Structure 1
Amino acid sequence: MKKIFFTISFIIIVFISLGYWKFFTLSGVSGGEKIQSIHSPDKTYTLHIYRHNGGATTSFAIRGELVANNKKFMNTKNIYWNYREENATVQWLDDHTVMINNHNLHVETDTYDFRKNDREKD
């Protein structure tokens, strides 16, 4: 009986964790049409901007995917996800800071996710 309880509990925890990862973190966000790629001034990073089409029921969203050009493993991460945007204005302020649609982000520590509506530290 205990074995069944622990097995069911484990399965529930796995599904809750997968749901949280998919719907509440930037790691679960993917896809979209690439609309631009911008290199940092020192070429250490490349920022790919994607337009995500939500279909007939939702608006467009913009996703910013950062690529660390000097890393071989774990070199990409999402740093920007904003809803109800069709275009992105991107400007590198320095080698480690980028402004995407008036949101300043230090690429090593900051992210912007409209669902949290605030920057967070990784």
Structure 2
Amino acid sequence: MNQKIRKKLLFVLLTLAILAGGIIYAINWAFFDIQRISGQEYLAESTSPNGTYTVTAYLNNGGATTDYAVLCRMKNNINGKIKNIYWQYHSKQADMVWINYEIIRINNIEINVNSEIYDYRRN
């Protein structure tokens, strides 16, 4: 009897843990993952000094109740992969300057395009 209760309790706890993990993942995906955002209005484009990366900036309009935001997407020109690397609210421009082959400064925020993402909500 004690073994049976223990198995049921383990099953219930495991089910609750999986459910909680799924809910946390869904909330993060739906509200905090900038990879889901697409660019609206083209602003500018800048290619790294060695031509490996191209960063394209877009102006996004959230509608009447929100301000403009800038989204920058980085494309790896070697393998074609694209990822969002910069998301800034209350901004209408993107001043982009490459510091070296992998680091770009966008509106005074330095980002290593290989490993970093700037999201105004997390900084």
Which TM-score band applies after superposition, normalised by the shorter structure? 0.7 to 0.9
Of 84-93 and 16-25, the range deviating more from structure 2? 16-25
Equivalence map 1:1-122=2 (5 Å): 14=22, 16-72=24-80, 75-117=81-123
CA distance in 2, matches of 1:28, 1:11: 23
Q: Percent identity?
A: 34
5+ long unaligned stretches in structure 2 = 1-10
User: Paired residues, what number?
Assistant: 113
Of 19-28 and 75-84, the range deviating more from structure 2? 19-28
CA distance in 2, matches of 1:12, 1:116: 23
TM-score (structure 1 length as normaliser) = 0.79
Deviation at 1:64, TM superposition (A): 0.7
Contact 1:22 1:29 in 2 (8 A): no
Q: Which has the higher helix share?
A: 2
5+ long unaligned stretches in structure 1 = 118-122
Deviating beyond 6 angstroms after TM superposition, the runs of 4 or more aligned structure 1 residues are 9-12
CA distance in 1, matches of 2:54, 2:39: 17
Deviations 1:19-77 (A, max 9, x none): 311311222222321111111111100001010101100000001100000014xx111
State the match for 2:3 in structure 1.
none
CA distance in 2, matches of 1:108, 1:13: 28
> 1:31 is paired with a residue of what secondary structure?
coil
CA distance in 2, matches of 1:29, 1:95: 25
- The structure having more radius of gyration, on CA atoms, is 2
